[in-house]
Amino acid sequence: MHKRKSIMLLSVIMTIALAGCSGGNNSAKSPATASPGTETAEALADGKIVSSPLTLTYFVEMSGSPAPGVKSLNDMAAYQETEKKTGIHIDFKHPAGGQEKNQFNLLMSSGDYPDVIQWGWNDYPGGGVGAMNNGVIIPLNDYIDKFAPNLSKLLADNPAIKKEISTDDGRIFAFPFLRSDPYLRTYFGLGVRQDWLDKLNLQMPTTIDEWHNVLTAFKEGDPNGNGKADEIPLLIRKDTMLNFSNVFLNAWGTSGRFNLKDGKVLYGPVQPEYKQFLQTMRTWYVEGLIDRDYAGTDDKQKDAKWTGELLGSSEMAVGGGIGKYTNAMKAKNPDFNLVGAPYPTLVKGDKPVLGQLEPIFNSVGAAITKNNKHVEETVKWLDYKYGEEGSMLFNFGIEGKSYEMKDGFPTYTDEIMKNPDGLSFATALGRYAVPFGGPLVQDKRYQEQNASLPQQKDALNTWMNVENSNWLPPLSFTNDESARLAAIMTDITTFRDEMFDKFVMGAEPIDNFDSFVKTIEGMGLQEALEIQQAAYERYLKR
């Protein structure tokens, strides 16, 4: 009898345990947004989407530097205005800063999805296609045709954009962040101290040889004038250089990742040109032209080196580099003049081939999850941002407050451009609108005012002057392909990064380049190339 008692006790424990676990699931499955009676609302006269209040949940990362007082995107004027217009309230779920990717991954594995997820879908295994195939998010084609007149019109008028945002089988998985103007897609390159060049009577370098001369002169000529040879002529950063900006690499017509040559997909680091690139970096490192600590220099230290007048050149962004350092140094050293340098080539006068260029659609967009019970309303709400009114709202904010129309040109007010509290352009604008990284079409007129310094404008034009026809467009892969690709490329990329440091710092002689190539091939490069090639051919047939 008492044996039974202890068994009962055990079963009580088990029940509590099970209840504890399944209880969470049950509550998760019940829709977080219970709001009945949202009938088709096309007939609503006041432009509202819904007749009774509706709340949608929305997962999105907060942009890098939120303005003081902006705790959630509901504190941003553009979203407040949208809520007034549409009658839909958004319950934003923001991941903690610095934890975004982990929290996105946890969200994905929890199965408890909000109504909308705005994210760079390339981070999901298999990309947006993978997320659709796994049933996390739903294909939007039919909904866009029926309920999204603004986006539909945009796609009908621009078949090129439609091709970019569709998968191989023609599905659309997100309301995309679009940058169609080339002016918006390049914002990164080499920056160099023009005042140092002037002081040493040097021309702006355009070839690798000229760069060598300039860097040597920076090292020996004491351009910062403190009597010490403490100048660091060049700071490089391998992850941006190999994965993103491609500075210097482009001189040899190669890259640190996959690119095209005569319609064939190649992997840059196994080409003979990559060896020459490494050889040059090695020589520069030995001669002390490259920062000895480049591998361990983080953003904070980079800032300190720039504002400490130690650096002569490095890669940088137009806003977070040229803009940031120029403003920081304005008071300290009025001569400080940081400008964009052209992508170097081997032969003088050649046009650079592979520079930094973001695709029109870089997989950032707002997708609707399978848990969404109000797809129609959500689609209408998202489509608002692609219309005339919504587009102005999310690019420029509120007329009369954050911008004014001057001769038909939306000009940001002084509150944004010369903020009385000393806030930067991006932070001040953040109270009204965040014209990047969300479901909207970025306006060229935003970037023209964002890069407002003459140095920034010139840098953009300089960095844009690149052929850029041999980059791969964003491809879509099947689940199996992307799993294989991820497994192979994890090893290869780690190896490429480690060996870059070893070659440059001299731990591995450049003569061993052949065995470096062999190792990469042994990791399954051929298979990865075939997957990329097949996906590229499917892309061409879209």
CB nearer to another protein: pick between 14 and 229:
14
CA dihedral over 279, 200, 455, 299, signed as positive or negative = positive
CB nearer to another protein: pick between 21 and 540:
21
Nearest to 93 by CA among 123, 122, 65, 59: 59
Task: Calculate the alpha carbon distances from 288 to 214, 216, 392 in Å.
Answer: 13, 9, 50
Chosen residue from 11, 15, 110, 226 binding another protein by CB under 8 A: 110
d(CA 274, CA 517): 10
CB nearer to another protein: pick between 108 and 329:
108
**DSSP code for 115:** S
Amino acid at site 372: N
The CB-of-27 to another protein minimum distance in angstroms stands at: 17
Asked if 295 interacts with another protein (CB under 8 A), we say yes
CB nearer to another protein: pick between 260 and 289:
289
The CB-of-134 to another protein minimum distance in angstroms stands at: 4
Residues in the chain: 542
Helix H or strand E encompassing 313: strand 313-317
Asked if 293 interacts with another protein (CB under 8 A), we say yes
Asked if 5 interacts with another protein (CB under 8 A), we say yes
CB nearer to another protein: pick between 228 and 541:
228
Chosen residue from 70, 136, 184, 392 binding another protein by CB under 8 A: 136
Asked if 519 interacts with another protein (CB under 8 A), we say yes
Burial class of residue 42 in the structure, from the number of CB atoms within 10 Å of its CB (0-12 exposed, 13-18 middle, 19+ buried): exposed
Asked if 7 interacts with another protein (CB under 8 A), we say no
**8 Å CB contact between 94 and 72:** yes
Residues 494 to 513 in contact with another protein, rule: CB under 8 A: 494-495, 497-498, 501
d(CA 257, CA 272): 14
d(CA 265, CA 529): 7
Q: What is the token pair recorded at 155?
A: 């796609």
Chosen residue from 13, 28, 96, 405 binding another protein by CB under 8 A: 13
The CB-of-340 to another protein minimum distance in angstroms stands at: 28
Asked if 124 interacts with another protein (CB under 8 A), we say yes
Chosen residue from 68, 263, 359, 522 binding another protein by CB under 8 A: 522
Asked if 125 interacts with another protein (CB under 8 A), we say yes
- Phi and psi angles of residue 142, each rounded to the nearest 5 degrees, phi first: -60, -40
d(CA 394, CA 443): 10
Q: Count of residues binding another protein (CB under 8 A)? A: 42
CB nearer to another protein: pick between 53 and 522:
522
Asked if 486 interacts with another protein (CB under 8 A), we say yes
d(CA 55, CA 90): 5
Amino acid at site 435: P
The CB-of-76 to another protein minimum distance in angstroms stands at: 30
- Phi and psi angles of residue 224, each rounded to the nearest 5 degrees, phi first: -85, -5
- The β-bridge relationship of strands 403-406 and 409-412 is antiparallel
Asked if 19 interacts with another protein (CB under 8 A), we say no
Residue with tokens 């982990």: 102
Asked if 20 interacts with another protein (CB under 8 A), we say yes
CB nearer to another protein: pick between 347 and 487:
487
Contact footprint for another protein (CB under 8 A): 1-3, 5-6, 13-14, 16-17, 20-21, 101-102, 105, 108-111, 124-125, 131, 134-136, 292-293, 295-296, 301, 483, 486-487, 490-491, 494-495, 497-498, 501, 519, 522-523
